[in-house]
Amino acid sequence: MNLLLKLEDIKLRWEDVGQQLISPDIMSDMKRYAQLNREYSNLTEIVEAYEELKKLHSNIDNNKKIVSEEKDEDFRNMAKAELDDMLRQVDPMEESIKLLLVPPDPMDFKNAIVEIRAGAGGDEASLFAGELFRMYSKYIETMGWKIDIIDQSDGTNGGYKEIIFEVIGKGKDKVYGIMKYESGVHRVQRVPQTESQGRVHTSAASVAVLPEAEEFDIDLKESDVRKDTCCSSGPGGQSVNTTYSAVRLTHIPTGIIVTCQDEKSQIKNYEKAMKVLRSRLYEIEHQKYLDEISAKRRTMVSTGDRSAKIRTYNYPQSRVTDHRIGLTLYDLSNILDGNVGALIDALQVAENAEKLKEGSLYE
């Protein structure tokens, strides 16, 4: 019954948040309104599950009464069969509710800024960075999300030295909450096309996933940002290469530099660059929270440690291994074709198990 009491407290909180959301004072404070609206959405799913559980317990009590008091044997047997079926539903329903009680990271519902950079391995690393981008593009498409490229630097023989893009969801999509598991160093082991001896070569690419920061999330002063403009480079036609459309922003207090040249319009490039700059500044604060998690959580699933080797893609064995949870799948071509969901799902399950062990439930 402790679970039911906890759920009743959550329902009271849900009702309270619902009342606050229609308060004029809250509606005039966009940051507070967004926080409460997100909490209300999270709690709604729990409250709906709680109502189902209460209904199940009520039906169980009714059937127990029928079984103990009903004189008609056929009717009593039917009630007993229904009772047995309902009793079997209690444990699975309670376990699923316990998972709902694991509070999501408040950042999970934000869009994500993803940065893929070629690491050690020369041209092979750039090619691999391109394959990672293709993998994510296909996965993002299956999720019904959109990609908006912010900046890119092409590799000498294909792929990317660096590509930065935004992943945009809709409604209650946990874009950052899903994509955050991809932060870290990805290794590839294969024989490069240029390798005449047929030796397996190891190269790497790093992936950084940031929660997109909205304007009210970070206090960014214009006086702290230096803006420089220049002609864009690379493909794009005469208008791109001969006008000062590329934007470079420098955040003076931190030294963070962001460039954007994907759009023909300087204004649009400036807006995109500001979005990335806000997100990088926001990440500095968010990283403190992630560091606290990493101190406690054995799997270190989503701690944002960009230097950690998280996954190896081995071509000779058609193998993909996620080193955080020791999961190996012999399905390389499918995964690189966008079916990375099986790995992300397993990482989510592992992290939720860690949270449940910690007792990290809604209070």
pLDDT of 243 reads 61
CA–CA gap between residue 312 and residue 41 (Å, rounded): 37
- 59's tokens: 């039906």
> Does the pLDDT at position 358 exceed 90?
no
pLDDT of 239 reads 46
What is the residue extent of each domain of the chain?
A: 2-100, 112-214+222-358
pLDDT of 14 reads 95
> Does the pLDDT at position 360 exceed 70?
no
Same CATH fold, 112-214+222-358 and 2-100?
Answer: no
Question: If one looks up domain 112-214+222-358 in CATH, what number appears?
Answer: 3.30.70.1660
Q: Is 21 helix (H, G, I), strand (E, B) or coil?
A: helix
pLDDT digits (tens, 9 = 90+) for 189-200: 999 866 767 789
The full DSSP string for 303-363 is S--TTSEEEEEETTTTEEEETTTTEEES-HHHHHTT--HHHHHHHHHHHHHHHHHHT----
In this structure, whether the domain defined by 2-100 belongs to CATH 1.20.58 is answered with: yes
The DSSP element (H or E) to which 160 belongs, if any, is strand 160-168
pLDDT of 145 reads 97
The full DSSP string for 170-206 is -TT--HHHHHGGG-EEEEEEE--TT-TT---EEEEEE
pLDDT of 320 reads 98
What value does the mean pLDDT take over residues 14-37?
Answer: 88
pLDDT digits (tens, 9 = 90+) for 75-87: 999 999 999 999 9
> How far, CA to CA in Å, does 149 sit from each of 153, 269, 276, 331?
11, 11, 11, 28
pLDDT of 30 reads 81
AA letter at 50: Y
pLDDT of 308 reads 80
Helix and strand numbers (H, E) in the chain are 10, 11
- What's the pTM value of the predicted model, to 2 decimals? 0.70
